[in-house]
Amino acid sequence: MKAIRKLRHESGTDFVTDAPEPGRPGVGQIKVRVAAASVCGSDVSVARYTPAGQSFKLDLPVTMGHEGAGIVVDVGEGVTTFTIGDHVALESHIACFECYQCGMGNAHICERMRLLGLHVDGLFAEFCTVPARAAYKLPDSIPLEHAALLEPSGVALHAIQATGEPLLGQRVLVTGAGPVGLFIAELAMLAGAARVVVVEPNEWRREFAESRGAVAVPPTSEAGRLRAHSGRSGFDVAFEASGHPSSFPAAVEAIRGGGTYVSVGFGDAPLVIDAGEYLNRRGIRMIGSFGRLLWSTWNTLVSLVEEGRLDLAAFITHRLPLSEFDQALWLLSGDACKVLLIPSAD
């Protein structure tokens, strides 16, 4: 079958046409025909083998891809929750559901976590076999292409959930208008934020953010100028979704005293934090966010999509065959939002 394979611990990937098709699924597994797979910023890091990509500690060789949806074509022994023909979206976290974190309801940070497309063969292929516990059954009302975006939009929703406080009437800052940053901005507006400001160097992405109702500004090294966009003494909440080292100081300087900083993006270098200034003196609360809650985040997103509150299709800007994966990476680094790979398009 066709697939995008990461074979070596160095920059580069391979589009192959002779990857072995998964056989019958094992106990507790399902086999899925992939209908659409979304390219993520982390796929760019993995393909180019940047420090951020290396931090995932890849198990190679591996078929890439962790955001996607498809149709169940076979079920393994013991699977009772899915039948052949079901439409599913895939969760990238393959949790053990046995460790302490899983028992505490934190399967998204499982102590034995494996990640789809990084440690086990993923979705940039015609077929994929996954544990049934890593699949979400879709309602008929959600097209498979749209469902491929439930995973990345779930990252955004989980980041908002991680604050533990309502955004109604809040002033929200988002640094980075990649897909996750744009989803954070969209969901913050849905949650009733009074103002959402997106910081992004790319003009096309700024225009996209503004078309969705946010205020979009280019990066600035002057903290006062960015803080002024809050309309008062600073932002209540800042979401860092770029991973760029310059975004951290800009964001924390723009937050009001007692505000909240949420780290979402993965950078290529560690950050230096002045704990005395930001945590003690200014009382800024700092939170990290990874993945999605299983399955409450998904249930909330599906409800928003079904009720027409969240239009996932609006974020799809390109559809390409697997053979044009390199083009997808190039697009994602420039004037694009979500780029879908369609295995049947080759």
CA atoms of 188 and 195, how far apart (whole Å) = 9
Sequence-distant (6+) residues with CB within 8 A of 42 are 52, 53, 56, 66, 266
All CATH 3.90.180.10 domain ranges of the chain, comma separated, are 3-148+311-345
pLDDT higher than 80, residue 330 = yes
All CATH 3.40.50.720 domain ranges of the chain, comma separated, are 155-288
Average pLDDT in the 81-97 region? 95
Instruction: Tell whether domain 155-288 is in CATH 3.20.20.70.
Output: no
Cα within 13 Å of Cα(243), Cβ side: 16
Q: Look at the domain 3-148+311-345 and name its fold.
A: Quinone Oxidoreductase; Chain A, domain 1 (3.90.180)
100 pLDDT band (50/70/90 cuts)? very high
User: How far does CA 268 lie from the centroid of its chain?
Assistant: 17
272 pLDDT band (50/70/90 cuts)? confident
223 pLDDT band (50/70/90 cuts)? low
**Looking at residue 214, what is its pLDDT?**
97
pLDDT in tens, 2-36: 999 999 999 999 999 999 999 999 999 999 999 99
**Regarding predicted confidence, which is higher, 248 or 72?**
72
**Looking at residue 161, what is its pLDDT?**
94
Sequence-distant (6+) residues with CB within 8 A of 45 are 52, 53, 266
CA atoms of 174 and 214, how far apart (whole Å) = 10
